[in-house]
A and B are shown apart, each in its own frame.
Chain A
Amino acid sequence: MSATAVRPPRAPAPRGPVRRRTFGRRQALTILGFFAPAIVFVCWFTYWPMLQGAQMAFRDWNLWDLTSTPWVGLGNFATILADPVFPVVAGNTLVWVVGSIVPQLVIGFLVALALWRRFRFRGLYQALIFYPWAVSGFLVGMLFRWMFNAEFGVVNDLLMKAGAIDAPLPWLADPKLAMVAVIVANVWYGVTFFAIMILAALQSVPEEVLEAAAIDGAGTVRRLFSIVVPYIWTTLALTVLLRAIWTFNSPEIIYAMTNGGPAGRTHIITTWMIEYTQQGSYGLASAIGLAVMVVLFVFCAFYLMAMRRVNQR
């Protein structure tokens, strides 16, 4: 048996009777009765406000005068698309999402691999590495705002002491550096989630397959890409999808660090939406929110279809 023949075993196909009714009408009603409060609450506090918010996108809904909120059709969407800020914000959002996700995936994978095997104080290391996920995104933004402060921040201090730079870098004042700074903060925040998910998936990779591959002469890199990655592929794909959606949707780090500045160079779709809510223009803000939702739906659909195709190969 050569190393190239190593493949992850397929999961056994489901067998036996497919469905069996396990409770009668009476029990079904009882179950429904217990579910009823949750259903009512979710409809009332999630879907009803969502519908309300969605219809605001088609009205001139301004906090200044809520006594008149006339129907404007697609007017709010047209206003947003015609705004010269829109292409800048869309480009920034793409850079923010891609620039955050790729390093998070790579570093998260490496961290998970490092924590995979048993070693002394592994539990302590895991707790320390997973800690950022428990911190609020806004707080992370506040911390990094001070860390990247040109005069009083620790980042410049360390870089200067290490001899990497001669003079302090204006991280949050320079348009290009500002985007780098907010992405670094987001990478620090998000690596943990990748590490948690990938580490959990790694536990499912069978030892015997890896040992067999090693005996057959497969090196570490070969075992990683021919056995480990295919085994955890679904988890990787779903984690990337989830983080992409959250990153797209999360303004708090940018809001706390730069508030979209300098001169709008770190503005993303969701910080732009916040700007409109602060102006009281809830109609325009809702239009952006609805557009974001549609974009994410389309993204998810394409992504999941692509993943299914890859899995079928």
Chain B
Amino acid sequence: MNRTRAVVTASLATVSMLALTACSGGGSAADGTVRLQMVESLTNPARTALIRELLDEFEAENPGVTVDLVSPPTDQADQKLQQMLQSGRGVDVLEVRDSTVGAFSNNGWLHDLSDEATTWAGWDDLTENAQAVTAEDGARYYVPYGFYGLSLFYRTDLVEDAGFDGPPTSWEDLLEQASAIQDPGQNTYGYAFRGGQNGFSNVVAAVEAYTIDDLDVENAYLLQDGSTIFSAPEAQDAVDTYFSLFEEAAPPSAVSWGYPEMVEGFTNGSTAFLLQDPEVIATVSQSTTITGEQWSTAPLLTGPTGKAAQPLATAGWGVAEASEHQEEAADLVEFLSGAEPATRFAQENSLVPIIDGAGEDPFYAEGPWTSYVTMTEDPETYVNVVQPRGVSWWTEWEQKADQDLQAVLLGSMTTSELLEEWDTFWTEKYAAEN
């Protein structure tokens, strides 16, 4: 019987030990060293390696603090992070995006960095845009590591061959040039039209450019009078021009084109224009089909009044409310937001930098980055706007808008019905919220 008891006891002890180890996270060791756990969400191998290098530098500067980096695969990262935050353990520093900050902060999972951040030695080095990233309640739940902004990638040779002096500056110009270049018989298309996932974002960019004079820049889905941008008469002109790009200057299969197809279409030389974030610069630079002389970037396209709305998307580093080491965690965020690490991170991930004056670095002053400098230096023309990406229905909106966009492309919905749908959606959502 003793043997039986021993077996049962050993089994239960094993289970308990495994369970306990499974639940453990960062903490303080007996010797006083602090172990932080940092979780990223836009994981890719090169980026993870860079973050690890930066963390090693932080550890060297802060003896007694070690940082474990957790890198879940991107498609599962948000769920994983949410589970860790909900459990209240295992996260000290985390990646927060403008699309996740709303839910995370609403559940009380994020620490407000307002008090710490403004006292940092390097705080004044941050750009106005970076300093301005705060939640609706004024709290600062993360410090951005960079911005994503749109620019127009274009083929210099195809534009020249079609008889144009330079790249298009407005949506109307784009339609004219892309239509002129389109030649399906030669497998050459004008515009890498985004009909698949996230395709709605370019429709909205066009509508915002056409309604810029009345736009509420703090919520670029609304006009200054409180109505939605989709209800404006100019929105009809915007969508008609935009969808003409599909009819006159894109392959029919672009109905399903998402990010990979668009970028592939440009890098393999078959499409002349591509509207994308700067992260694509690195990908296009590696193309073996088109050389560096055959392409460049131009500033975002303007509307009829000569202005464009630049919807800056952002992400950054935040501190978990449940962290037992908020002071050290905030130190880590301060380090990552410092001039040298932040500039390196932005450059190696093709982001618009958060450090004031980093745009004067030769890295940004030459080649495809010049369009970003042009836009930064002319905020009257290229107006920075904030989209309401933090609202609770943002993902629902993305999914609905993409389906409606495809319905228009397939002919089962008209452009005016599309605008009516979108206007109703946002009007009802805001009404329900209030």
- Chain A residues contacting B255 (CB-CB under 8 Å) are 170, 172-174, 261-262
Stretch at the interface among B33-41, B338-346, B391-399: B391-399
**CB of A40 within 8 Å of the partner chain:** yes
A56 to B403, CA, bound (A): 27
- Chain A residues contacting B196 (CB-CB under 8 Å) are 259, 261
A251 to B254, CA, bound (A): 23
**CB of B270 within 8 Å of the partner chain:** yes
**CB of B424 within 8 Å of the partner chain:** no
The residue from B86, B256, B264, B268 contacting A262, defined by CB atoms under 8 A apart: B256
Asked if A168 contacts B253 (CB within 8 A), the reply is: yes
Known: A64-B102, A64-B392, A261-B406. A33 touches B197 (CB 8 A): no
- Chain B residues contacting A53 (CB-CB under 8 Å) are none
The residue from A173, A277, A281 contacting B252, defined by CB atoms under 8 A apart: A173
A151 to B252, CA, bound (A): 10
Asked if B19 contacts A44 (CB within 8 A), the reply is: yes
**CB of B15 within 8 Å of the partner chain:** yes
Asked if A178 contacts B256 (CB within 8 A), the reply is: yes
Asked if B4 contacts A33 (CB within 8 A), the reply is: yes
**CB of B162 within 8 Å of the partner chain:** no
Asked if B254 contacts A173 (CB within 8 A), the reply is: yes
- Chain B residues contacting A67 (CB-CB under 8 Å) are 107-108
**CB of A278 within 8 Å of the partner chain:** yes
Asked if A150 contacts B253 (CB within 8 A), the reply is: yes
**CB of B21 within 8 Å of the partner chain:** no
- Chain B residues contacting A277 (CB-CB under 8 Å) are 79
A263 to B408, CA, bound (A): 9
- Chain B residues contacting A262 (CB-CB under 8 Å) are 195, 255-256, 406, 409-410
A44 to B187, CA, bound (A): 57
CB contact list, A70-121 vs B, under 8 A:
none
Which among B12, B14, B254, B395 has the highest number of chain A CB atoms within 10 Å? B395
**CB of B121 within 8 Å of the partner chain:** no
CB contact list, B355-414 vs A, under 8 A:
392-393, 395-396, 399, 402-403, 406-407, 409-410, 412
Asked if B256 contacts A34 (CB within 8 A), the reply is: no
Known: A33-B8, A36-B11, A64-B106. A261 touches B253 (CB 8 A): no
**CB of A264 within 8 Å of the partner chain:** yes
Asked if A175 contacts B410 (CB within 8 A), the reply is: yes
Q: Residue of A at shortest CB range from B14?
A: A37
**CB of B7 within 8 Å of the partner chain:** yes
Q: Residue of A at shortest CB range from B405?
A: A263
CB distance from A35 to the nearest CB of B (A): 8
- Chain B residues contacting A37 (CB-CB under 8 Å) are 11, 14-15, 18
A241 to B4, CA, bound (A): 42
CB distance from B314 to the nearest CB of A (A): 20
Asked if B253 contacts A151 (CB within 8 A), the reply is: yes
A62 to B15, CA, bound (A): 33
- Chain B residues contacting A173 (CB-CB under 8 Å) are 195, 252-256, 409
Q: Residue of B at shortest CB range from A259?
A: B197
Asked if B15 contacts A36 (CB within 8 A), the reply is: yes
- Chain A residues contacting B264 (CB-CB under 8 Å) are 152
The residue from A29, A41, A152, A168 contacting B8, defined by CB atoms under 8 A apart: A29
A77 to B370, CA, bound (A): 53
Digitize A249-266: 1 where CB-to-B-CB distance is under 8 Å, 0 elsewhere. 000000000110111100
CB contact list, A225-239 vs B, under 8 A:
none
The residue from A65, A150, A263 contacting B403, defined by CB atoms under 8 A apart: A263
The residue from A30, A41, A258, A275 contacting B4, defined by CB atoms under 8 A apart: A30
CB contact list, A128-168 vs B, under 8 A:
149-152, 168
- Chain B residues contacting A275 (CB-CB under 8 Å) are 399
- Chain A residues contacting B407 (CB-CB under 8 Å) are 263
A34 to B412, CA, bound (A): 62
Asked if A30 contacts B187 (CB within 8 A), the reply is: no
**CB of B29 within 8 Å of the partner chain:** no
**CB of A26 within 8 Å of the partner chain:** yes
**CB of A279 within 8 Å of the partner chain:** yes
Asked if A151 contacts B187 (CB within 8 A), the reply is: yes
Known: A44-B19, A173-B254. A36 touches B12 (CB 8 A): yes
CB distance from B397 to the nearest CB of A (A): 9
Asked if B268 contacts A152 (CB within 8 A), the reply is: yes
Known: A26-B4, A30-B3, A67-B108. A261 touches B252 (CB 8 A): no
Asked if B15 contacts A34 (CB within 8 A), the reply is: no
Digitize B71-93: 1 where CB-to-A-CB distance is under 8 Å, 0 elsewhere. 00000000100100010000000
**CB of A8 within 8 Å of the partner chain:** no
A263 to B409, CA, bound (A): 9
Known: A41-B15, A170-B253, A277-B79. A36 touches B8 (CB 8 A): yes
A278 to B256, CA, bound (A): 20
**CB of A66 within 8 Å of the partner chain:** yes
**CB of B1 within 8 Å of the partner chain:** yes
Which among B82, B189, B256, B392 has the highest number of chain A CB atoms within 10 Å? B256
- Chain B residues contacting A264 (CB-CB under 8 Å) are 403
- Chain A residues contacting B258 (CB-CB under 8 Å) are 259
Asked if B252 contacts A170 (CB within 8 A), the reply is: yes
Known: A259-B197, A275-B399. A66 touches B107 (CB 8 A): yes
**CB of A63 within 8 Å of the partner chain:** yes
- Chain B residues contacting A178 (CB-CB under 8 Å) are 256
The residue from A44, A170, A171, A278 contacting B399, defined by CB atoms under 8 A apart: A278
CB distance from B107 to the nearest CB of A (A): 5
What are 21 inter-chain pairs, A to B, with CB distance below 8 A? A29-B8, A32-B8, A37-B11, A37-B18, A63-B82, A63-B103, A64-B392, A65-B106, A67-B107, A149-B253, A150-B251, A151-B253, A175-B410, A178-B256, A259-B197, A261-B256, A262-B255, A262-B410, A277-B79, A280-B103, A280-B392
Given A168-B253, A261-B402, 14 more pairs with CB closer than 8 A: A26-B1, A30-B4, A62-B392, A64-B103, A64-B107, A66-B86, A149-B261, A152-B270, A172-B255, A173-B254, A262-B255, A278-B399, A279-B395, A280-B395
Point out residues on B near A: beta carbons under 8 Å.
1, 3-4, 7-8, 10-12, 14-15, 18-19, 79, 82, 86, 102-103, 106-108, 187, 189, 195-197, 251-256, 258, 261, 264-265, 268, 270, 392-393, 395-396, 399, 402-403, 406-407, 409-410, 412
